[in-house]
Amino acid sequence: MTVSPLIQTKDLCKSYDNDGVVTPVLFDINLQISKGEFVAIMGPSGSGKSTLMHILGFLDAHTGGQYLFQGQPTTAFDDDDLARIRATRVSFVFQAFNLLPRTTVLQNIMLPLLYHPAVAVGEREKLALQAVETVGLMDRKDYVSSQLSGGQKQRVAIGRALVTNPEVIFADEPTGNLDSASGIAVMDALQKLNDEGHTIILVTHERATAEHARRIIHITDGRIDNDTRNFARVIASEKNHLK
């Protein structure tokens, strides 16, 4: 019996239709991502990398080809199915953090659990506190987002992404708004999550950030022009595992 890849696309296309003006963005994307991979999707601004991430993360729909999630075609999912997948199996870390204002670290991290159908009300705080602990913000759990630095905000966003224990975490330019030290801390946190078994799909235009991934997919003008193993990272990761 063959195991289906977690994510598989076949000739996936995406175009936008603005009042009859059709703008193609992605062309014939064919890729497979297995469970536990750390993949960076790289490309210049406007190349379509974020659009691809939104489609893979069920935030947007493709207009051609196929997208299979664990072997199931996603066109079979209705709005509620997609919402349930976003609530339970995938999560996001955005460049702009997207934290709720006037809301504490703990409440922000707890937010996805409101929409999780399988988490009991009494479990929420415990799970959220675990996530706060994981991202190292226990001493700031009652701070509101305006009292945090950029790096801390992104760690809250990572905590929010991992609190539901999703299979895939999508990170869209997670270091884009951070200084280099904070950026490294955020990437280390994502690396740690990957080591724990989460599949990480990272979108970035920075080579240094992409170097954290074990696989780098390069997109130019809506097409995959390179899909390579990042051997330096793979070797480093293997060394870590052997330690």
Partner 1 sequence: MRFRDTFRTALKGVTVNLSRSALTMLGIIIGVGSVVLMSSVGQSIQGVILSQISSLGPKSMVIFPGPEGLGPQGVTTGFDSLTFEDLSEIRKLKSITTVAPVIFVVAVTSYGNEEGNPRIVGATPEFFENQKLSASMGRLIDQEDLDGAKKVAILGSDALEKFFGSVSPLGQRIKIGETYYTVVGAMDPVGSQFGQNVDDRILIPFTVAKNVSGQKYLNLITLQAVDSFDLAFDDIRTLLRYRHGISNPENDEKKDDFMVHSSEQANRILGSVSLGLTMFITTVAAISLIVGGIGIMNIMLVTVKERTQEIGLRKAIGGRKRDILLQFLSESVMLTVIGGIIGMVLGVFLAFVISGIVRNYLSSYAFAVSVQSMVAAFFMALFTGIVFGISPARAAANLHPIEALRYE
Q: To the nearest whole angstrom, how small is the minimum distance from the Cβ of residue 12 to partner 1?
A: 16
Candidate list 94, 144, 150, 220; residue touching partner 1; CB under 8 A: 94
Site for partner 1 in 176-195 (CB under 8 A): none
Joined tokens for residue 182: 């904070």
Q: Which is nearer to partner 1, 100 or 208 (CB)?
A: 100
Closer residue to partner 1 in complex, CB, 69/216 = 69
Q: Which of 70, 72, 75, 98 binds partner 1 (CB under 8 A)?
A: 98
Letters for 22-61 (x = contact with partner 1 by CB under 8 A, - = none) are --------------------------------x--x-xx-
116 near partner 1 (CB under 8 A): yes
* Residue 86 binds partner 1, judged by CB under 8 A: yes
* Residue choice 20, 79, 231, 241 for contact with partner 1 (CB under 8 A): 79
Site for partner 1 in 128-167 (CB under 8 A): 160, 164
Binding residues (CB under 8 A) for partner 1: these are 54, 57, 59-60, 79-80, 83-84, 86-88, 91-92, 94, 98, 100, 102, 111-112, 114-116, 121, 160, 164
